[in-house]
Structure 1
Amino acid sequence: MKNYFIISDIHGQYKAFEKLLKYWNQKDSLVLLGDLIDRGPQSFEVVQKVMDLKKQYGEQVIFCKGNHEAMLLDFLENPGQKYAFYYKYGGRETMASFLKYLPAEVSELEPIEQAKVVKEEFAEELDFLNNGKLYEIAGNLLLTHAGFDSTFATVDETQDENFIWIRQHYKNENKTPYINVFGHTPLQHIHDCNDIWISKDQKYIGIDGGCYFTGQLNGIVLSEEGQIIHMYAVTSDKTEHYNN
C-alpha cells in the first residue's frame, strides 16, 4: 500500500517547510498542493527546494499548482496590468526573494522592468511552476490546491481555474468517489483553528494552517485508500519570530 505525505500553502516559509520535511519518510510520495510562494520571505528558496526534491526523487514528488503560482505567472506575462493586484497579495515578497539572486542594480529598476529580468533569468523555475498539475488522483484521494466543483459528481466537469481558485466547495456533499484533500482556504475560516479539518463524512480534508499569517504549516500522511497514518504541524517562521 502506498502512502502520501501532503503539504500545502507554504507561502515562502522556508524554515517551516524544512522542519516539516524532517517527518517525511522517503518511502512515501511527497505531495505539494501549491502556493509555494508569496507573502513569506523565502519564496525563491522554497521553489528551489521543491525542484531539487523533484530532481532527486522524480515521480515520487508531486507538485500541484496553486493560485499564487498562477498570479506570479500572470504578472510576469503582463506586469503593467497585473502589478497592483499581484503586489497587494504577496507578490512583493516573492519578487524580493528572486531579486536577491540577481545583480544589485536590478533592484533599482521599476517593478515592471524587474519583471522582465526575472522572467528571463529564472525561466527554469517559472517553467517548473507553470507545469504544476491542476490535480492528482492517487487511489481514493483527489489532491487539489483549492478543491473542485462539488456541484458535479465527476471531477471532469470542473473548470481548470476552479482547481486553484474555488472557495467553499466543501460545504456541498462530495459526490465523487474520492476523498478531496485541499489547501487554499485557511482552516481558521473552516473551523476557527489551524489544525487539519476532516469533514464528518470524511470525504473532505482541509490542510491549510494559514502559516503566512502567524499560523502553522500542516502535513498529513494518508494511505492511497484514505486512511490517516499521521498528522503533523510545525510553527510558521512568522510565529516563531513573534515569540522570540
Structure 2
Amino acid sequence: MNHYVIGDVHGHYTTLMKLVSLLPTDARLVFVGDLIDRGPSSADVVRFVRENHHLSVLGNHEEAMITQGFAISRCFEMGEALPTHSIWFSNGGVRTLRSYGLVRLEEGKPVKCDDYAEGLQRFKDDMKWMEKLPLYLEFPIHHPSGKTVVVSHAPIGSAWEMRNVDSMYGTFARLATTNRRDPDSADAPIFNIFGHTPMQNGPRIRDHFVNIDTGCYKEEEGYGLLSAYCIETGDVMSVKRE
C-alpha cells in the first residue's frame, strides 16, 4: 500500500474526486491541509477526508476556521449579526460557510440562511475535528534521500529541531502552517513534503523536499492543478481543476 500526499484542495471536491479516481484503489491518502476555502465544496472535502479516515495535517485555513468559526457559530446561536470585517471571510471563508448551508449572498454580502441548524452542527463538529489535526506526520518509510519523511502544511525542514524545545515550540507551530520559504539547505534532517505556496507548472521536487501545492484554486496560466506525490515511488499525478 503506497502513500499519496495530496496538495491544497481548497474546497474543490469534484477535482479531488477526479484525482482520487486515478490513484490505486488501495492508496493511503495524506493531505497537507488547506482542505477548505476558496472553492465551492469545502464541507464535502472535509466529509470525504473524515468519513474515509484519511490522514491530514493542519493548514492555515483550518486554523482560521477554528479561530473565527466558533465565534461565527455563536452569532447563529445567539441571533447576532455576522461579523463584517472577518479576515477569514475575505480569504475564502464565505464560500466555506455557503458549502455548509449557513449563508447565502445578497448584493454580494453574506446573510444567514433560514434553515441552518443541520449545517451549523456539522460545521461545529468539523471544527472540533480540525482542532485535533497534527502539525506534521512522520512516516517510517525508506526514502532514497535516506531521511525521515515528514508531511506538513508549510516547510519545516530548517525548523525541525525546534519541535522538541519548549521555548521554541510556538515558533515551530507558526512556521508549520505559515512559512513560505522553501528549505534552503540540502542538509535539512528530514525529507519534507508540504504545500501552502502554489507552484506554477507542477510540483517543485528537490532532493530534500517536495512542494505539492500546484494552485488548484488559481486562475493564472500554469496553475489550476491538484497534484499527488507518492512517497514510496516518487510518482506524481496531477489533474486540471474541474
Fold similarity call, TM over 0.5? yes
Paired letter, 1:38: D
Q: After TM superposition, what 4+ stretches of structure 1 lie above 6 angstroms from structure 2?
A: none
Which residue is equivalent to 2:155? Answer: 147
Query: Contact (CA 8 Å) 2:157, 2:192: kept in 1 or not?
Result: no
User: How far, CA to CA, are the matches of 1:8 and 1:152 in structure 2?
Assistant: 21
Query: Contact (CA 8 Å) 1:76, 1:119: kept in 2 or not?
Result: no
For 1:197, which of 204, 218, 239 is the aligned residue?
A: 204
Which residue is equivalent to 2:35? Answer: 36
Which residue is equivalent to 2:91? Answer: 89
Q: Does 1:124 find its partner at 2:121? A: no
Paired letter, 2:132: N
In the TM superposition, what whole-angstrom CA distance separates every residue of 1:105-136 from its partner, at most 9, and x where no partner exists?
x659996977x966545332222222211100
Which region of structure 1 is more displaced relative to structure 2, 20-29 or 4-13? 20-29
In the TM superposition, what whole-angstrom CA distance separates every residue of 1:166-196 from its partner, at most 9, and x where no partner exists?
11142x2154432100000101xxxxx2301
| Change in CA separation of 1:156 and 1:27 when aligned onto 2, cut-off 3 Å | farther
More helix by share: 1
Q: Does 1:233 find its partner at 2:238? A: yes
Work out the number of aligned pairs and report it.
Answer: 212
Query: Contact (CA 8 Å) 1:7, 1:31: kept in 2 or not?
Result: yes
Normalising by structure 2, we get a TM-score of 0.77
Which residue is equivalent to 2:78? Answer: none
Paired letter, 1:161: R
Unaligned runs of 5+ in 2: 73-81, 141-147
Which residue is equivalent to 2:214? Answer: 209
Q: Secondary structure at the match of 2:68?
A: helix
Which residue is equivalent to 2:185? Answer: 173
Alignment of 1:4-23 (within 5 A): 4-23=3-22
Unaligned runs of 5+ in 1: 55-60, 188-192, 238-244
| Change in CA separation of 1:176 and 1:82 when aligned onto 2, cut-off 3 Å | farther
Normalising by structure 1, we get a TM-score of 0.76
Which residue is equivalent to 1:242? Answer: none
User: How far, CA to CA, are the matches of 1:209 and 1:152 in structure 2?
Assistant: 24
Give 1:25 deviation, angstroms. Answer: 2.1
Give 1:81 deviation, angstroms. Answer: 6.8
Which residue is equivalent to 2:56? Answer: 63
Give 1:49 deviation, angstroms. Answer: 1.1
| Change in CA separation of 1:168 and 1:14 when aligned onto 2, cut-off 3 Å | same
In the TM superposition, what whole-angstrom CA distance separates every residue of 1:40-61 from its partner, at most 9, and x where no partner exists?
011111111111211xxxxxx2
| Change in CA separation of 1:82 and 1:147 when aligned onto 2, cut-off 3 Å | farther
| Change in CA separation of 1:152 and 1:136 when aligned onto 2, cut-off 3 Å | closer
Paired letter, 2:90: K
User: How far, CA to CA, are the matches of 1:182 and 1:51 in structure 2?
Assistant: 20
User: How far, CA to CA, are the matches of 1:160 and 1:6 in structure 2?
Assistant: 20
| Change in CA separation of 1:152 and 1:21 when aligned onto 2, cut-off 3 Å | closer
Percent identity between matched residues is 27
| Change in CA separation of 1:3 and 1:154 when aligned onto 2, cut-off 3 Å | farther
Q: Secondary structure at the match of 1:168?
A: coil
Q: CA RMSD in A?
A: 2.7
Which residue is equivalent to 1:185? Answer: 197
User: How far, CA to CA, are the matches of 2:128 and 2:69 in structure 1?
Assistant: 12
Query: Contact (CA 8 Å) 1:149, 1:162: kept in 2 or not?
Result: no
User: How far, CA to CA, are the matches of 2:85 and 2:24 in structure 1?
Assistant: 40
